[in-house]
Amino acid sequence: MDSKKQKKLEARGWVVGDASEFLQLTDEEARYIELKRALSESLKTERLKQQVTQVELAKMLGSSQSRVAKMEAGDAAVTVDLLLKALLTLGVTKKQLAKIIA
């Protein structure tokens, strides 16, 4: 948000902040959420780059298409290890994973 708009909102009594502040997340919680988001986005990007459907990836993982959709959407029920397993299944290297995490 640009500073002009922020000042205007604050002048009218609004409190401007980010999701971490609103949810009262610790720094560690915020970083964990950001990590999951980055992994989820990377999974979808890599799957589309390789022209693999959600159904095909699900078969490769021994899972369901709906689970892959949840993985790509960053669903809270999806674990980091499942996201990593999916990325590795698509052939993402440790070096590429390091870039995603960084």
What is the Cβ-side half-sphere exposure of residue 48, based on CA atoms within 13 angstroms? 8
One digit per residue, the tens of pLDDT, for the chain of length 102 reads 788 888 888 898 988 877 778 888 899 998 999 999 999 999 999 999 999 999 999 999 999 999 999 999 999 999 999 999 999 999 999 999 999 999
Report yes or no: 100 and 38 within 8 Å, Cβ to Cβ: yes
pLDDT at 2: 83
pLDDT at 15: 82
46-67 tens-digit pLDDT: 999 999 999 999 999 999 999 9
Q: What CATH architecture applies to the domain 20-101?
A: Orthogonal Bundle (1.10)
* Helix orientation angle between 65-73 and 54-61, rounded to the nearest 10 degrees: 110
Domain positions in the chain are: 20-101
